[in-house]
């Protein structure tokens, strides 16, 4: 696996980034990686909410210098989470220099070989900066036309910002694997035509009601429903990340 910092973005909101970031972090930890999941949705953090965590310290305290990064992490399912701070105006409007400091602290964190950044929807400055900072960018799309258009916008801006082709596409909530493959092909064709390159498909995650159940119960899918289709698909994603090198 090239690099160790992976950002998960989408453009359109509500396509499953946060759930995927959590479940992928869990799968990678189960495969033996030392994983930190960073809630990079600086305005409306919700990793902690999906998991029912009540962290003692959060990102706001780290940014303010009151708490060291290693003291702010929460441990769950064999991986660590640096929670965000929902609704914090301070973080949403984080000064560029403070964001750089935070990213440098992440890059330097010695305890982890894998860092997953769960990004906010949209294309605001911090989102673009974190996407460009990551070693690899995974763009999540569903079969909704708006999701595809917005995923394309992220891929296009990223190509301009980072000038690298370190991107891959994840199709989430696909009705079937074949339907997910068609969704990928639609997005891939637009990239090939207008950007001149085709990001690979990291994987397809099927739509599965167990996901909603795990989130409603604020539990990890791989613990609550280890044998459901979405669990198998995310585990395959984790393997695919390793295999791509
Ligand atoms: N594979 C799936 N099958 C069924 N439902 C799913 C799947 N993935 C995500 N969902 C549903 O989508 C909802 C939104 O997920 P999530 O909050 O992770 O999206 P998001 O992209 O992080 O949203 P935001 O842009 O607001 O941060 C979840 O509550 C869940 O019910
Ligand atoms: Mg989210």
Of all protein residues, the one whose alpha carbon is nearest to atom 19 of ligand 1 is 16
Taking the domains of the chain in order of start, what are their residue ranges? 4-244
- pLDDT, residue 23, reads 98
Query: What mean pLDDT is predicted for residues 15-26?
Result: 97
Residue 1 has a pLDDT of: 42
8 Å CB contact between 28 and 138 = no
Tell me the average pLDDT across 59-78: 88
**CATH: 3.40.50.1000, 3.40.50.300, 3.40.800.20, 3.10.110.10. Which one for 4-244?**
3.40.50.300
For the CA of 212, the nearest atom of ligand 1:
31
pLDDT band with cut points at 50, 70 and 90 for residue 44: confident
Output the pLDDT for position 87: 62
Q: How confident is the model at residue 83 (pLDDT cuts 50, 70, 90)?
A: confident
Q: What's the mean per-residue pLDDT of the chain?
A: 91
Regarding pTM above 0.75, the answer is yes
pLDDT in tens, 182-241: 999 999 999 999 999 999 999 999 999 999 999 999 999 999 999 999 999 999 999 998
Q: What is the pLDDT of residue 90?
A: 66
Ligand 1, atom nearest to 208 Cα: 3
Pocket test for ligand 1, best of 9, 16, 210 (most atoms within 8 A of CB): 16
Judged against a pLDDT cut of 70, whether residue 86 lies above it is answered with no
């Amino acid at each position: 696996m090239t690099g160790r910092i992976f950002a998960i973005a989408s453009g359109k909101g509500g396509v499953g980034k946060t759930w995927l970031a959590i479940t992928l972090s869990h799968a990678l930890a189960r495969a033996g990686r030392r994983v930190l999941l960073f809630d990079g949705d600086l305005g409306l953090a919700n990793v902690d909410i999906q998991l029912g965590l009540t962290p003692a310290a959060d990102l706001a305290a780290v940014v303010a210098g009151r708490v060291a990064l290693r003291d702010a992490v929460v441990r769950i399912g064999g991986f660590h989470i640096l929670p965000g701070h929902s609704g914090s105006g301070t973080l949403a409007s984080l000064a560029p220099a403070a964001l750089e400091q935070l990213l440098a602290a992440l890059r330097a964190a010695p305890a982890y070989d894998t860092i997953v950044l769960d990004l906010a929807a949209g294309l605001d400055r911090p989102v673009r900066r974190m996407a460009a900072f990551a070693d690899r960018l995974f763009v999540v799309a569903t079969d909704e036309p708006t999701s595809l258009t917005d995923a394309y916008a992220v891929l296009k801006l990223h190509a301009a910002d980072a000038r690298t082709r370190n991107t891959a596409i994840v199709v989430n909530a696909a009705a079937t694997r074949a339907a997910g493959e068609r969704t990928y092909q639609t997005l891939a064709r637009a990239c090939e035509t207008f950007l001149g390159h085709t990001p690979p498909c990291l994987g397809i995650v099927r739509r599965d009601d167990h996901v909603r159940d795990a989130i409603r119960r604020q539990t990890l899918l791989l613990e609550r429903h280890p044998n459901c289709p979405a669990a198998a698909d995310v585990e395959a994603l984790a393997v695919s990340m390793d295999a791509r090198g």
